[in-house]
Structure 1
Amino acid sequence: MNRPVVVFAIFFIAGILIGEITAVKASVAFILAAFSFAAAAIGYLSAWRKNSRLLIVIFLMLGLSLSRLWIEGSETPLVNYDGQRVVLTGRVVAEPDVRADKVYYLLEAQELTKSGKTGQVTGAVRLQLKDTNQVFAYGDILSAAGLLTRPEPAGNPGLFDYRTYLERQGIRVVLIAKGDEAVRKIGAGGANPLQGAALVVKQKLSAAATHSLSPAQAAVLNGIIFGVQGLIDSETRRAFSETGVVHILSVSGLHVGLVLGGLLALLRLLRLPPVWTAPLATPLLVIYAMMTGLNPAVMRSAIMALLLVWAHHFGRDQDWPTTLALAALIILLRNPLQIYHPGFQLSFAATWGILYLGPFLTSACLNLFRAPPGIAGRLAIQALAVTFAAQLATAPLVAWYYNLLSPVSIIANMLAVPLTGIIMLLGILAAFLGLLWLPLASLVNVSTGIVLDIFLAVIVFCQRLPGAVIFLSTPPVVLAAVWYAGLLAVVRVYAGRCSEAVAQRVKRWAPAGAALAAALVLLWWPWRPGQDLTVHFIDVGQGDSILVQTPGGRNMLIDAGGRPGEFDTGTGAGDQIVEPYLRKTGVHRLDILALSHPHEDHSGGAVWLAKRLPVKMALVTYAGAEAAGSSRAEGVPAAYTALLDSLEARDIPVKVALAGDRIALDSAIKIEVLSPVKSEVMRSQAGLNNSSLIIKISYGRRSFIFTGDAELDEQQELLRGEADLKADVLKVPHHGSRSLLADLVEQVRPEAAVISVGAHNTFGHPARSTLDMLNAAGVTVYRTDLDGAVIMRTDGNNLKIMQGKKTNKM
């Protein structure tokens, strides 16, 4: 068997995937693994080389059993306290994740107190501590009072699944605490002493940057050296992502290579023999990996680097596919579910691309020159080929997870990576000098700050180049499979890595493969609109956001969600939910942005979206619009009027809609504004609700009514009008509050009603009376807190309804 470790790793991964798909019990998987091991042992005693397939089965069963053991081992009785306020005692078992407005801790639970009763508990808990100025340390034992919750399943298809993300780390519950008084240290000890020592050293080293650089510079420097991203602002992180250099902020092969290169340079400077390299590199890389959190990328890099130096130490050759497979096995034995981590996938894909595609691309580039280039030219070509190889290998994964491709990534990497080396050199030098005397660190970091500013300016410059980023909808898995098969085939055939017969066979089938790839691209790429009207009730928590995609390919967004404070911060539902959902769906521009009324839970997300997506027109209610560019109306948030001003400053027309208006968006559909009737601005918060835009959209025999937060007054005004209110779908006003009128339900006579509402909200939404009223009328009720996103598609006759979550109807 050639490269048995590679084969074993492939089947071990297959076992992990089967384990999660089948959800077989861990005990059953363990019995199967034991049986396979016994069979293999018997086969080994007889003639193992004839029974090597049994070894493959062992690794398949091992992956299956370990994945099930990991999943079932993370189960905890703490989930029974979901939604309850408790006092929890636990030990901090990982480095605190410090953010600008909160700190996250990973606790190993020990005791739980509820209603005066204390009991022993087990399980991993993520503690979220808000409004605090103190940061506890690894190994501290904390007593924390707060709300224990189990994250909701992902409500929006394709978006980040917080529950699954935590469960794959063995975490089932989150404890939300607020203020310094909510958490106190009651002890310490019991933690891994080596991990603790590594984090103490890291804290002392990073202090030099904190004390001698601006907060923004220190955040980026500590991100580059240690992979700490919590304090890097969202705009900077986005610039790294959109230029394809985000790997610089996640410690990986680049960083490990620079650290190892620094050690080699130091040994040469000290004139120490090469025999010292492996013994000194081992503790250095292990401690560095511990400092950076043992993420999949740094573990992969450290393992491969150590295998390389020890192979050189013993005079052995290294086979990179075997080394890469062994690194994967070691990481997955520690946590089999890391296979789903984007960092794991991107790190291994990039490394495979560099090692498999890189030499082929380098050779191909060199063959373009009639005469061999000089040393500098050859190095430049190699750097270009390696960068391009990594981009080719990770392109499907980047498109899948981030919905973008960055054409400038090669240029950005060619410019940024050399600067990264200089920044790490200066930053590490300043960090060690800071251990002796902080002013020395400050002196070195004058240069570090200058290089950091140049580095960030280069990234922002690349981000702002025309065509720097191309946003994509999520590609189909089969397209990624065809992509990787194509890369494998091209290199094997044209680099002479297969027999002539195989090469001829591949070339014969190449046109068919290219045709398949082209067909998949044509099906995936939004070249032409479909024939359906699609309405997405996006799950934004306690708020509203509805995407309408017309048969003619136009896009209308009715409300943009919003969380408390989003008007001021510009971050929340807009950047974390609505924009990603639009990108995943393939929506990269808005023909109409309709804001039903000025409240933050409907309009807050528009602050972000207006900066990120082209908007042709904004449609707003009269309330608040009169304040744009003038004095603010009573009850209208200042940030809302500032939002309207910013839209007009970008040459986006802001149109006030009143009852009777018709909106021309797509000739295939009819859009009518049913309310507000009145043109004066309401003066109270209830008045803002009662000035909501109420819009009816019709397509063929099907129609929808969207009601914003309309309360009693506006509903009664609507009923007094002459508009045709009959519709198949009713967006229930004001998150299903008790203000829904039975007469409105009777007039609309909907088949289905959608309530956009947040789970465990403090407003009592939806009201029991409203649910009873709708059920009594025979209406099928969909709720975003229970069903997730509700997606309705119609061809004008039939209506198909899909849900983001699988739940039972009420």
Structure 2
Amino acid sequence: MLVPVGQNLHLNQQIKSSVKLIKSKEAKVAALAVAASEIEILAQPKRLFSTTDQIRSSFRSLVPKSDLGSLIPGLILGDTSLQSEEFTIAMRRVGFSHLTAVSGANFALVAGFVLWLMQYLIRSIRTRLIITAIVLILFIFLVRPTPSVLRAAVMTAVLLAARYRGDNSLGLPALGAAIGLLVLLDPFQAIDPGFALSVLATGGILIMAPHMSNWLAKRIKWSWLAEAIAIPISATLFCTPVVVALSGQLSLITVPANILASPVIGPITVIGFVAALFAAVLPNLSSLLLLFTYPMAGWIVWLCNLGASFAVLKFSSTLFFSALLLIFTALFLKRKWRPLLLIAILLLSHLTYTKISWPGSAWQIANCDVGQGDALVINLKKSDAIVIDVGPEPSLIDNCLRRLGVKQISLLVLTHFHADHVAGLAGAIKNRDVKQVWITNNLQPTAAYESSINLLDKTTVRQVVAGEQFQIADKKISVLWPERYQGSFASLPGDGSAINNSSIALLIKTTKLSIFASGDLEPPVQELLTVNPLLSPVDIYKVAHHGSAYQYLPMLDKIKPSVAVISVGAGNNYGHPSPELIGEFEKRGVKVLRTDKSGGIAIAAPNKIRVTGKDWWRIRWG
């Protein structure tokens, strides 16, 4: 159910409201309910739910406001509400996102801790298991009884059953029975990736963890520590192939990073769980316990930040992925080839380290990969740039500008106020000095305009119109559109109407390159620009409106670009870029670069192009 922003609802509350039902695209969800009237609270949550809510809230308040602090509630309670978008993306990129999703491994660690503690207090194994089961039921409510949590609890019950019978060989049959029961109760589990990961994590704990734990116990003093290390490593190794298959990508640092992080997962989970229990009643004790987790959580954050700097390996086809698995299997089968495999992995890790792969020291113009949106960057000098549009998401443009080394924006241009061009503004200006901002004279949509102005605060903002010319460093900038009077574009036809046709169009010439950036202008305005004497042949054409089919082709003959850059999101619903337009560029011998295919694009010269690559092998000079 969707509710108004600012409306805080709690699990197990009873509410009353008129709703609008929207048909869901998901087969397992009949409809999405959108609140259409004021929400009336009929009854507050029951005591158990309100208590666990208070514990979660108190626990969140005890951790520091940092990536380290936001990680701890995620690791222990699956609560990622404190995590920044940037840190979440970094976690996903390195393959750490599973750490903050409550799984069978969390339950196994909590169960293992309780069983270890009970052995010193209670002699009966059966009684220990009953107490452990009760603790796990309470843990379910603490982390919220969502389907994925209940699924993980069932998997943990399998482990406890195997432990009770004292025969690990019973674990796999019990796991099979649990799988059958869960799918019988909810057939949609069979196509749920989370279900596959839960099964694999449990399988890893059943199959690999006992052997790894025994091996570690012979080398370290404490058997409980050996088990705490073995459980997350086993679960991670079993889950990694499916994570790779689902995401279609693998960072070469993922497996080693997870192995390096695994030894601290157990201690953080156990200490954090105890700290959470006392968070509401003895916050000082909880704070003291949490102090022991900070160095370990800091280790994971450090690994995450380091790993996020590495490029990811993306698989373009199932065939390639299958071939890669066969190659790796063959290498592992031959013992004498293992050193060669290690050398190859280290070499690839070095070659794909992003700081040496993109954008390169000679870049002049870069187009950030911001999905279905626009974000163009013109290099001025070290750490200074002109930025034209900021894409739809703050984290994407912020990450791109950080990789480009941009710390100051001498000129920020917002071509028009559609979300795919301005919604990322907060990320673009984050920790950066913005000298001045240019905007169009069409201030619609109003909400996007007002939001942008509020973010810019005291920054100098001016409306620019056709005919104005400026010099910034060695860049000569000519404003070709919009006209001074809004009537000149408001009445023009087009699929984006007045807002697209009010985009700022710039001709930028440097000592090395020239570029024409045209926002989302459509054929009526493109036709007018074709007869503009200021518009001349350029090296690079930033293609209008993400390469839509709605283009005035004679303009291409006027500007004669060597390179066409299309900023577009992969798998978008708009049909961008148009195959017909791509064909027109190819007929004219224009090199086409697309962010949906190549990722971020950095240009040093028309024949010197470097891309981040949607696939690792595309990191190259053109």
Q: TM-score scaled to structure 1, two decimals?
A: 0.48
AA at the equivalent of 1:472: A
Partners of 1:463 and 1:201 in 2: CA distance: 33
AA at the equivalent of 1:545: D
* 3-state secondary structure, aligned to 1:675: strand
Does 2:115 align with 1:264?
yes
Assess, with a 3 A threshold, how the Cα gap between structure 1 residues 280 and 397 changes in structure 2: closer, same or farther: same
Q: Which residue of 1 is the match for residue 443 of structure 2? A: none
* 3-state secondary structure, aligned to 2:284: helix
Assess, with a 3 A threshold, how the Cα gap between structure 1 residues 451 and 539 changes in structure 2: closer, same or farther: same
Q: Which residue of 1 is the match for residue 308 of structure 2? A: 469
Does 2:3 align with 1:174?
no
* 3-state secondary structure, aligned to 1:229: coil
Does 2:581 align with 1:707?
no
Q: Which residue of 2 is the match for residue 450 of structure 1? A: 288
Q: Which residue of 2 is the match for residue 731 of structure 1? A: 544
Assess, with a 3 A threshold, how the Cα gap between structure 1 residues 403 and 788 changes in structure 2: closer, same or farther: farther
Offset from partner CA, 1:159-209 (integer Å, 9 cap, x none):
xxxx5xxx15x225434448xx53235799xxxxxxx97xx5143133245
Offset from partner CA, 1:671-704 (integer Å, 9 cap, x none):
99653589x9x9xxx999968343589xxxxx98
CA contact (8 A) 2:168 2:206 kept: no
Q: Which residue of 1 is the match for residue 18 of structure 2? A: 144
Does 2:275 align with 1:426?
yes
Partners of 1:460 and 1:325 in 2: CA distance: 38
Partners of 1:408 and 1:522 in 2: CA distance: 15
Assess, with a 3 A threshold, how the Cα gap between structure 1 residues 253 and 325 changes in structure 2: closer, same or farther: same
CA contact (8 A) 2:568 2:576 kept: no
CA contact (8 A) 1:675 1:692 kept: yes
CA contact (8 A) 1:475 1:524 kept: no
Does 2:362 align with 1:574?
no
Following superposition of structure 1 onto structure 2, how do residues 367-446 of structure 1 map, counting pairs within 5 Å?
373=219, 375-376=221-222, 387-396=232-241, 401=247, 404=251, 405=253, 408-428=257-277, 430=278, 441=281, 444-446=282-284
Does 2:424 align with 1:605?
yes
> What count of residue pairs does the alignment treat as equivalent?
530
CA contact (8 A) 2:481 2:506 kept: no
- Structure 1 residue 136, shift from structure 2 partner: 5.5
Assess, with a 3 A threshold, how the Cα gap between structure 1 residues 211 and 663 changes in structure 2: closer, same or farther: closer
Assess, with a 3 A threshold, how the Cα gap between structure 1 residues 304 and 784 changes in structure 2: closer, same or farther: closer
CA contact (8 A) 1:149 1:173 kept: yes
* 3-state secondary structure, aligned to 2:18: strand
Partners of 2:404 and 2:319 in 1: CA distance: 27
CA contact (8 A) 2:77 2:142 kept: yes
Following superposition of structure 1 onto structure 2, how do residues 514-593 of structure 1 map, counting pairs within 5 Å?
540=372, 544-545=373-374, 559-562=389-392, 573-575=393-395, 589=404
Following superposition of structure 1 onto structure 2, how do residues 103-502 of structure 1 map, counting pairs within 5 Å?
127-135=1-9, 137-138=11-12, 140=14, 142-145=16-19, 149=22, 167=26, 170-171=28-29, 173-177=31-35, 182-184=38-40, 200-208=47-55, 210=57, 214=61, 223=74, 226-230=77-81, 234=85, 237=88, 246-261=97-112, 263-264=114-115, 268=119, 271=122, 273-279=124-130, 281-282=132-133, 285=136, 288-289=139-140, 292-294=143-145, 298-313=149-164, 317-339=168-190, 341-356=192-207, 373=219, 375-376=221-222, 387-396=232-241, 401=247, 404=251, 405=253, 408-428=257-277, 430=278, 441=281, 444-452=282-290, 455-456=293-294, 458-460=296-298, 462-464=300-302, 467-473=306-312, 475-476=314-315, 477-478=318-319, 481=322
Gaps of 5+ in 2: 359-364, 379-384, 441-449, 462-466, 487-497, 510-514, 597-622
- Structure 1 residue 289, shift from structure 2 partner: 3.8
Q: Which residue of 2 is the match for residue 438 of structure 1? A: none
CA contact (8 A) 2:16 2:40 kept: yes
| Alignment match of 2:479 (pick from 675, 680, 685) | 675
- Structure 1 residue 219, shift from structure 2 partner: 8.1
* 3-state secondary structure, aligned to 2:184: helix
Assess, with a 3 A threshold, how the Cα gap between structure 1 residues 644 and 403 changes in structure 2: closer, same or farther: farther
CA contact (8 A) 2:213 2:230 kept: yes
CA contact (8 A) 2:60 2:73 kept: no
Partners of 1:240 and 1:515 in 2: CA distance: 26
- Structure 1 residue 470, shift from structure 2 partner: 3.8
AA at the equivalent of 2:3: L
Q: Which residue of 1 is the match for residue 604 of structure 2? A: none
Partners of 1:201 and 1:289 in 2: CA distance: 11
CA contact (8 A) 2:18 2:35 kept: yes
Does 2:610 align with 1:797?
no
- Structure 1 residue 662, shift from structure 2 partner: 12
AA at the equivalent of 2:394: G
* 3-state secondary structure, aligned to 1:318: helix
CA contact (8 A) 2:13 2:41 kept: no
Q: Which residue of 1 is the match for residue 455 of structure 2? A: 639
Q: Which residue of 2 is the match for residue 84 of structure 1? A: none
Gaps of 5+ in 1: 1-126, 152-162, 189-195, 367-371, 435-440, 494-505, 550-554, 563-572, 625-633, 646-656, 665-670, 698-702, 759-781, 805-810
Partners of 1:642 and 1:471 in 2: CA distance: 37
Q: Percent identity?
A: 17
Assess, with a 3 A threshold, how the Cα gap between structure 1 residues 332 and 250 changes in structure 2: closer, same or farther: same
Q: Which residue of 2 is the match for residue 498 of structure 1? A: none
CA contact (8 A) 2:478 2:506 kept: yes
- Structure 1 residue 423, shift from structure 2 partner: 1.9
- Structure 1 residue 418, shift from structure 2 partner: 0.9
